Amino acid sequence: MNAKDVIIACDFSSKEATLEFLDKFKEEKPFVKIGMELYYAAGNDIVKEIKRRGHKIFLDLKLHDIPNTVKKAMRVLSDLDVDMTNVHAAGTVDMMRAAIEGLTRPDGTRPLLIAVTQLTSTSEQAMREQLLIDASIGDTIIKYAQNAKEAGLDGVVCSPLEAGIVKEACGNEFMTVTPGIRFADSGKDDQVRITTPERAREIGSDYIVVGRPITAAEDPVEAYRKCVKGFLGK
Ligand code: C5P
C-alpha cells in the first residue's frame, strides 16, 4: 500500500517568507513541496532548513534535458536527502532511466522519483493545437505513465481526474501525485483539470499537492486541516 498524504506547495520567493509560513504549523509537520521559484531563490539552504525542521520534502524541479545532463544533475540532487523529486516524462524513457541512475546513491538508496505527464494547466485543445499531439489527454497520460513505469520510476504527477486511468494502466502500486486541487467553493486560478480533496481520494490519488488554496488562505492551518480531512478522511 502506498502512503497517502497532503503535500503543501510552498511557492514562495524567499527563505524568510517560507519559514514564516511554516512557523504557523505548531502541531503538524506537513509534507512540503519546494518548486522552482523557491529553489532558484533560496537554493540548498532552504532545503536543508526545512529538512532540519523535520518535514518531508518533494523537490519539484521537473528536470527535462538530454539524458547525460539529467543524470549528472540528479547525482548532485541525491546528496540533498529529499524524499521525492521529478522529471518530465516528455524527456523519453532513456532520459528517465538516466535520472534514476544519477539519483541512486552508492548504497543503493534514492528518493522517490516521479514523472510529470501533462501539466494540469494544459488543456486538450492547447495540447492538440500548440504541441501538435494528436491524441486525447487521457491517452497521452497513459502512454507517458507507461513510459515512466518502463524506465523504473515510482509514479507520475497527473491531474487527480486521471489518477484512476493511471492506476488501471500501471497498477495500484504505481504512485499518483496530483496537483490541481481546489475546494468546492473556490476559484480555479490558472489550473484547468482540477477537483476537490474528497474526489481525489475517491479516484485514487496517493498524494495531493495543494498550493494557493492553503498558502493564500486567511488561515492556512485550518485550510490544511480541511484538505487532510477531505483527502484522508480524518
Ligand atoms: O497553487 P496550486 O494549488 O495551483 O499549486 C499547484 C502546484 O503544483 C504548483 O507548485 C505547480 O507548480 C505544481 N504542479 C502543477 N501541475 C503539474 C505539476 C506540478 O500544478 N503537472
pLDDT cut 70: percent of the chain above it? 99
**DSSP secondary structure of 200-220:** HHHHT-SEEEE-HHHHTSSSH
Q: Ligand 1 atom 19: the closest Cα is on which residue?
A: 179
In which region does residue 181 sit, left (phi positive, over 0), alpha (psi from -120 to 50) or beta (all else)? beta
Average per-residue pLDDT for the chain: 95
Q: Ligand 1 atom 10: the closest Cα is on which residue?
A: 9
Q: What is the pLDDT of residues 193-228, one digit of tens each?
A: 789 999 999 999 999 999 999 999 999 999 999 999
Q: Which of 7, 10, 11 to mutate to test the pocket of ligand 1 (most atoms within 8 A of CB)?
A: 11
Residue 123 Cα to ligand 1 middle (Å): 14
**62 catalytic per annotation:** yes
- Residue 188 — very low, low, confident or very high, per pLDDT cuts 50/70/90? confident
Residue 179 Cα to ligand 1 middle (Å): 5
Nearest in space to 110 (alpha carbons), one of 151, 70, 82:
82
Which residue of the set 62, 143, 149, 234 is catalytic?
A: 62
Pocket of ligand 1 (CB under 6 A): 9, 11, 35, 60, 116, 119-120, 157, 179-180, 189, 191, 209-213
Q: What is the pLDDT of residues 31-82, one digit of tens each?
A: 999 999 999 999 999 999 999 999 999 999 999 999 999 999 999 999 999 9
Model pTM?
A: 0.94
pLDDT above 80 (res 22): yes
- Residue 185 — very low, low, confident or very high, per pLDDT cuts 50/70/90? confident
CA dist 158 to 3, 19, 55, 120, 186, Å? 17, 28, 23, 7, 21
